[in-house]
Amino acid sequence: MHIDTMRAIDRWLGIPLTFALTQALRLRDFFMPPALARPKRVLFIELSEMGSTILADPALRKAKTKLGAELFFVIFAGNRGSLDLLGTVPLENIFTLREDSLFTLAADTLRFLAWTRRHGIDAVVDLELFSRFTALLTGASGAASRVGFHRFCGEGLYRGEMLTHRVAYNPHLHIAKNFVALVNSLLAAEPELPYCKQLIGEEEISLPVLRFSEAELAGMHRRVAEHYPEYDPTRHRLVLINPNASEMLPQRRWPAERFIELTRRILEAASDVLVLITGAPAERAEASAQCAAAGSLRCVNFAGAVQLAELPLLYSISTLMVTNDSGPGHFSAITPLPVFVLFGPETPNLYGSLGKATPIYAGLACSPCVSAANHRKTPCTDNKCLQAISVEQVFAAIEPLLRG
């Protein structure tokens, strides 16, 4: 389904359904108050953002180590691969929802409700900020403990009143720390209003760095050689360019012609560099056009050349990456790769990568223009926030690594 269709359904069906389910839960809890105890089977809900599964990993690992909980996860089927990168959640504990039509989504929702009861889920952590649908999944899950962000006195989206642990979303705190706050509410010794009244340090949002064997790295080198036969890892360096961004927020795209000009500058500055244009298989045509415009055989169309699970391997043999604010900026956080992320309608203060990342951000007065209060929908059709970032500015940021 198109993102605007999903927003409309979430609004016109979500508001009455969350209101009705709120009343049903209040009535049930009046006659049968839930027995809240430290949970042992914790379900996390994050449907629509692949990068957010990486940002949520510190919270998942804290639930696993501090609660001793078995972890479960529900996500849209198209985003499932992002969970496999770190393997924090067992494969058999992941439930996927198809979002291609309202019918399949409704059918999978019914299966989900049976699945939560079959697995005895006793706590649900809703990681979403913008969705009434996930609020409904949380409220209908059958779990005794239901954790999520609450608007309290703010003007945020109405999502019903189905939470047993209402956490204050802090728009001045990195989202990874906000996710940890959700888990902290389950660890609290006594009820709080709002949760969580604790300091969350930088060490709590660190990510493990994946390491690969020489054989695995050699295999990825061979994959590159399939697309550029002269490639020799002893004399070539790889620079990755990811010019794509999710269709959910196309305003995050830096102009394509600037990626092309940046590619030319990189190739002129370093004769030992190969530039790989990365992306999904559906983006091969766009990547091919960018390679042609760059005018060099050392610019290689690598879109669709590797699967999502293989990206950490590719990142581990590369020198640097320049990317729009999208999934690859977060996927690279579990590797040593230096990454330069172009921000516009969102801010790195809240959504910056947890890895070896350098955000490039113009900081215009209108930016960030998407938030929890507007369902991440902006009226902007002219992303001056990204147009304000020049090729010279980006090249200056990466040049020390190219020279080195």
Q: What is the pLDDT of residue 287?
A: 95
DSSP codes, 6-68: HHHHHHHTHHHHHHHHHHHHHHHHHHS-------SEEEEE--S-HHHHHHTHHHHHHHHHHS-
CA distance 95 to 120: 14
Q: Are residues 236 and 317 in the same domain?
A: yes
Q: Are residues 392 and 323 in the same domain?
A: yes
Q: Are residues 181 and 63 in the same domain?
A: yes
What token pair was written down for 342? 């172009």
**Average pLDDT value over all residues in the chain:** 93
Q: Are residues 194 and 233 in the same domain?
A: no
Query: Burial code of 251-264, b = ≥16 C-beta within 10 A, e = fewer?
Result: bbbbeeebbbbbbb
Range of the domain at 176: 3-205
As a whole number, mean pLDDT of residues 53-58 equals: 96
Look at residues 180, 205, 230 and tell me which one is the last residue of a structural domain: 205
Q: How many CB atoms lie within 10 A of CB 306?
A: 17
Residue 11, pLDDT > 90, answer no
Q: Are residues 164 and 66 in the same domain?
A: yes
Q: Are residues 53 and 158 in the same domain?
A: yes
Look at residues 187, 205, 223 and tell me which one is the last residue of a structural domain: 205
Look at residues 147, 173, 205 and tell me which one is the last residue of a structural domain: 205
Locus of tokens 């200056």: 396
Q: Are residues 395 and 291 in the same domain?
A: yes
Give the confidence band of 169 by pLDDT, cuts at 50, 70, 90: very high
Residue 290, pLDDT > 80, answer yes
Please check whether residue 338 is in contact with residue 313, taking contact to mean a CB–CB distance below 8 angstroms: no
As a whole number, mean pLDDT of residues 176-187 equals: 97
Q: Are residues 178 and 235 in the same domain?
A: no
CA distance 221 to 313: 9
C-alpha torsion 355→359→365→366, nearest 10:
-70
Digit-coded pLDDT (tens) for 85-142? 999 999 999 999 998 898 999 999 999 999 999 999 999 999 998 889 999 999 999 9
What token pair was written down for 318? 């590369």
What token pair was written down for 332? 């690279």
Digit-coded pLDDT (tens) for 224-238? 999 999 999 999 999
- Per-residue CA distances from 283 to 171, 280, 286, 288 (Å): 33, 5, 5, 9
CATH number of the domain within which 130 lies:
3.40.50.2000
Q: What is the pLDDT of residue 303?
A: 96
Q: How many CB atoms lie within 10 A of CB 240?
A: 23
Best CA proximity match to 376, nearest among 341, 331, 325, 321: 325
Q: Are strands 237-242 and 70-76 parallel, antiparallel or unpaired?
A: unpaired
Domain count, the chain: 2
What does pTM read for this prediction? 0.93
Q: Are residues 185 and 232 in the same domain?
A: no
Q: Are residues 238 and 364 in the same domain?
A: yes
CA distance 130 to 132: 7
SS (H, E, C) 123-176: EEEECCCCCHHHHHHHHCCCCCEEEEEECCCCCCCCCCCCCCEEEECCCCCCHH
Q: Are residues 137 and 235 in the same domain?
A: no
